[in-house]
Copies of this chain bind each other. A is one copy, B any other.
């Protein structure tokens, strides 16, 4: 190895890398994994398809880079216990509107095993960890996290992918009003009332 280079000296190609990643997210979100072609992504980014290969190895590598996603869940222990549901759904909605990474992940997870695995990891790990803060039974916490994921992903699926008219039409505040109590019960309630 050479002597330690400056850790973050900007490379000239960083702009290209970023352009590719942005175009990839757009295409993956709009068309899903298999319909989004390397050639179209490269054209959007105004470079040659071979550059995509140089920087990301292959299509799977590109998707892995483009679908990097963090729910950025807040620390639920600082939220009043009665407002957990509202805090969660509010956070999810604001996290999605304006970041198409989740749409890309959702579309791709339907057909691409790697994307499905990524989705499992994100929702199982991150939500379960957040829930585990106040339900100390691991199995119960996982179940609660799964139910939250089911309601949450269902909302995202119908609003952003299928675009079911009544769900698309509803304002964030309306959605919050309806869904918050559901999440609240999944987080802290007991089954069958």
List residues of chain A with CB under 8 Å of any chain B CB.
31-35, 106-107, 109-111, 116, 119-120, 123-124, 142-143, 145-147, 149-155, 157-159, 161-167, 170, 174, 177-182, 185-186, 191-193
With A and B bound together, what is the CA distance between A129 and B173 in angstroms?
A: 26
Could you tell me if A162 and B116 are in contact, using CB atoms closer than 8 angstroms?
yes
Could you tell me if B167 and A191 are in contact, using CB atoms closer than 8 angstroms?
no
Could you tell me if A162 and B119 are in contact, using CB atoms closer than 8 angstroms?
yes
With A and B bound together, what is the CA distance between A110 and B110 in angstroms?
A: 7
With A and B bound together, what is the CA distance between A45 and B145 in angstroms?
A: 41
Could you tell me if A154 and B164 are in contact, using CB atoms closer than 8 angstroms?
no
Could you tell me if A182 and B182 are in contact, using CB atoms closer than 8 angstroms?
yes
A131–chain B nearest beta-carbon distance, Å: 11
Asked whether A180 and B153 contact (CB < 8 A) given A116-B163, A164-B146, the answer is: no
Q: What B residues does A193 contact at CB under 8 A? A: 181
- A147 to chain B: closest residue by CB: B178
Asked whether A146 and B167 contact (CB < 8 A) given A34-B111, A111-B32, A155-B154, the answer is: yes
Could you tell me if A120 and B154 are in contact, using CB atoms closer than 8 angstroms?
no
